[in-house]
Amino acid sequence: MPEPNLNEKISRLEGRVAALEKKVSVSHSKKLPKRMLTTEEAATFLGMTVDGLRGLTYKKLIPYYKPNGKNMYFDVDELVSWQKKNHFEPIYNAAEGKD
């Protein structure tokens, strides 16, 4: 088999570089945190059932989005803020002992 010429070698290398660049960009995009969650993902995130979460959305007690009028989406930061909404201070510090 004859030795590939310089143009063929360059073409092969360019193809390999393009494939590597595609793999690198895909792997970087997978590492980005997901900002919007589906109903099922949000229910798991909050540790509740899907029906329980839907009940909260029906009563408008939790923030959500319906961009297409059908599917609901939840912003992670808003869910964390919602979870922290009713904060209760402990009566005493366990390390200090009871009052």
User: What does each of the 99 residues of the chain score in pLDDT, given as a tens digit?
Assistant: 567 788 888 888 888 888 877 777 655 555 566 789 999 999 999 999 999 999 999 999 999 999 988 899 999 999 999 999 988 888 876 666 655
Residue 12: what pLDDT? 84
Class of domain 36-83: mainly alpha
Residue 94: what pLDDT? 63
Residue 62: what pLDDT? 96
What are the domain boundaries of the chain?
A: 1-32, 36-83
pTM for this predicted structure: 0.58
> What span, in angstroms and rounded, lies between the C-alpha atoms of 72 and 49?
15
Among 84, 98, 80, residue whose Cα is nearest residue 37:
80
